[in-house]
Structure 1
Amino acid sequence: MSGSPELVVFFRYLPALEKFIKKGTSIRSYNHFENMPFEKVIPDYFKHKGSWDFKQIGYHHTIVSNDFLGYNLYESEETSSYFPDLIVANGSISSKLYSENLTSNGRVRIGPSLRQKDPGPIQKIDKQKRLLILLPLELNACIELLSAFSHLNRIISEFKIQTLIRLHPIMSVTYLKAKLTKLNFHIPEDWIVSKQDLYSDLFESQYVAVSASASIIDAILCNCIPIPVGRLLDLDLNGLDFYSDRYPLLKSIRPGNLEKWLHKLFSADPNEFSGQLKAIQEDLRVGLCSNSEDLMNQFLV
């Protein structure tokens, strides 16, 4: 299991943590809340010790796909020792996930949206005829996405569209190239690896390709036309799939249908999609909170 080494590392923390806070009486532990195994080690340990006033605060930091199973809680899971005492959601979209699954009142608060920011109106004149490929953290998803678009590079070039790739901030170019070299795969020579920050790339790009990434939210907020590509070997994890019945632009595109879709997309006037983009942006702005001081205070217990 890919998560096992991570879990072992967290167990190694426990003796050090106990020694470090030996004289303490009150502990507040903050973590992302995705209901992953490694999140459960620290709260389970300290709650069973029983000698500290311990509270676990989990932050629901981003909107997630319907494919993500972590928030599908089993019956009575909220009463377990490892479950957060408080969940801070980043807005009403995320908080609704818990309204049907949690029975305890007051366990969920609506707090700030720290993962996404609303850049405000983007002028169309700022957009370049560019395809930005946002690579996810998972290596297999990266390879699938790069392979899909490299096979269609001729079509992209025919439409005179520049291709820019952007790695996940935790993944280095050296690491990715080493993995691709082992597979005898080479990134097309006319593609550029971005060295800018995420929002600078998004501001300038007309089209954004994503797979298994919440960055589709940032792309929409920056007025980019999304190309959500489905997976071949795993769940799609399309970060906005719960809106896809309402907005066709958000439907995952099967890799086998990508060529046809790119022809249609690149042949169309980008203004044709402005109505959908505006409507999705409005939904996101309602469902995601700001970073005001009042909302930051929701983390305090």
Structure 2
Amino acid sequence: MGKDKKSNRGHRPPKLPKDVYAAELFRLQTELVKLQEWTKHTGARIVIVFEGRDAAGKGGTIKRITEYLSPRVARIAALPAPSDREKGQWYYQRYIEHLPARGEIVLFDRSWYNRAGVEKVMGFCTPQEHTLFLRQTPIIEQMLIEDGILLRKYWFSVSADEQLRRFHKRMHDPVRQWKLSPMDLESVYRWEDYSRAKDQMMVHTDTPVSPWFVVESDDKKRARLNMMAHLLSTIDYSDVDRPAVELPVKPLAVNNYERTSREVITYVEDHVAGLFGDRQ
């Protein structure tokens, strides 16, 4: 499959220093803002597909990519389970509704490849539907590309040990417990089934016109930087001139305006003041 098949798995690289990570992350995020402005200016349409096992780091990477981008330009498509009506549609139909218009970027947090993974392994589709998916998907993607869409597909690869460690961490984290579901646990018990399904998917959908790029993600921070740097390297974007903006040195004087009395306005209580206790 794909271009470079080299893997660092089994050879744990040195831990990435926090300051190096923060500096490179901000540099890449700055470049992503430039990519956003170029996308708006040129009317480009960009689709980025994020796939991989549960807890592989897709969501964290998407969060860092979009952190400084405009939600009017960069949208995240994270579709729930299909409704009864959607189950009666052409399989790709609900995904096509989320494709970008001119000047937009869409990041699919899981995509039509659900059929190649969870639907295949959990029996949510028939063998015939799965076979049809593997045959039709390269055709669909080629049509998107021929129409001018820039399509990038990333598979986040995590080891079984690291996935289980992250699941344990989620289980005991009150702000991340919602990310651990019975369906997630099935990915532990059906590890080999998911591996076979992924391998089969790659054989059919890793094509010269629409290749898969695998991101080693046992180290989340490295994975984020590697994926973002690779994405930027695959798109020939450039700086876009922005209109000059001039601001006054200080606020302009207001002659006749009188501010409404504070007594007639309901303000939010100063919750933070109570955090200081006797230290004030």
- The TM tier, using the shorter chain, reads under 0.3
Q: Which structure shows the higher strand fraction? A: 1
Higher relative contact order (CA 8 A, sep 6+): 2
TM-score computed with the length of structure 2 as normaliser: 0.28
TM-score computed with the length of structure 1 as normaliser: 0.26
| Greater gyration radius | 2
